[in-house]
Structure 1
Amino acid sequence: MTSTSDLWTIRPAQARDTDILADIYLRVRRTTFLWVDPGKFHSEDFVGQTPGERVFVCEDRNGTIAGFMTLWEPDDFIHMLYILPEFQGRGAGKALLAALPEWPNRRYRLKCLVKNTRAIAFYRSLGFAIIGDGSSPEGDYKDMQLSGN
């Protein structure tokens, strides 16, 4: 499945994307999660934390990978959504979410770190509601679920 808008192409990840996606995952976590020791993030984390997940890649018109999203399909759980800083605020995250099966009618879930206030605001603006709280090594998080239409 490939989805294309005027600005973004969303496609399934391929093996050749792995190093780029791992770099995005590392870079964005180190620049966003400033309250976590950056030494706790490693380039091999992406591969280690995504087995069995469906991975969506977002490219701009030039074929540059702007970010990615991973989905644990058995639970409709969005595990990761990471956009490079230079592409944030330009619709890449929305394009990735819109590529999900039955978006926005399926009740997708995700966890968002409390200190990542920008991401919480982003998800809330798209119809996600906070349904619970939890804690992780990176800090407290909100469990969020898409309301569905």
Structure 2
Amino acid sequence: MNWIIRAPERTEREDLADIYLTVRRETFTWVEPSRFRHEDFFTHTQGEIMWLASTPEGEIAGFMTLWAPDDFIHMLYVSKEWQGKGAGSALLRALPDWPHQKYRLKCLINNSRARAFYLASGFVSTGTGTSAEGEYDEMTFFAE
């Protein structure tokens, strides 16, 4: 797939909020679904740089956000029907200076598919912690 990676238009933010809500409810099955709300997206992405991945036909497959002051990938979410088709990898490649820049993220340990994706993408576990959604691995991509 030839993914188009770009900044979202203001009118597309609702679509990204839909993806954020749906993927969290589908994936984080150990968390009460009512804890996730549509408006979370707008609160959780304030001040972050954002990219979306779309098909050449314009269908949005997913998005990624970066908290630039700490080179911290805060979110990378891909709709279920597009998972495993390269959208996540394309989003990572869009990061400034990838793969020559060090990046960090947190990945919930129970999210085994995402954890496997990050490990396959070159991230390594550099610590652990606990959040409201459960235990997580702190993961770091060390620049080449």
Same fold (TM over 0.5): yes
* 1:85 and 2:83 are equivalent in the alignment: no
* 1:55 and 2:78 are equivalent in the alignment: no
Partners of 2:30 and 2:127 in 1: how far apart?
22
| TM-score computed with the length of structure 1 as normaliser | 0.95
**Alignment counterpart, residue 76 of structure 1, candidates 66, 71, 74:** 71
**Alignment counterpart, residue 100 of structure 1, candidates 86, 95, 99:** 95
* 1:128 and 2:123 are equivalent in the alignment: yes
Structure 1 runs not aligned, ≥5 long: 1-5
Amino acid at match of 1:79: H
Runs of 4 or more consecutive aligned structure 1 residues displaced over 4 Å after TM superposition:
none
* Cα deviation code 1:42-97 (max 9, x no counterpart): 00000011100001010012100000000000000000000000000000000000
Q: Which residue of 1 aligns with 2:14?
A: 19
Aligned sequence identity (%) = 53
Amino acid at match of 1:21: L
* 1:110 and 2:105 are equivalent in the alignment: yes
Partners of 1:101 and 1:35 in 2: how far apart?
34
Q: Which residue of 2 aligns with 1:41?
A: 36
User: How far 1:148 moved relative to its partner?
Assistant: 1.7
Partners of 2:31 and 2:55 in 1: how far apart?
30
SS at match of 2:115: helix
| TM-score computed with the length of structure 2 as normaliser | 0.98
SS at match of 1:148: coil
Q: Is the 8 A contact 1:53 1:73 kept in 2?
A: yes
Structure 2 runs not aligned, ≥5 long: none
Query: For the aligned residues, what is the CA RMSD?
Result: 0.7
Amino acid at match of 2:12: D
User: How far 1:147 moved relative to its partner?
Assistant: 2.0
Amino acid at match of 1:90: K
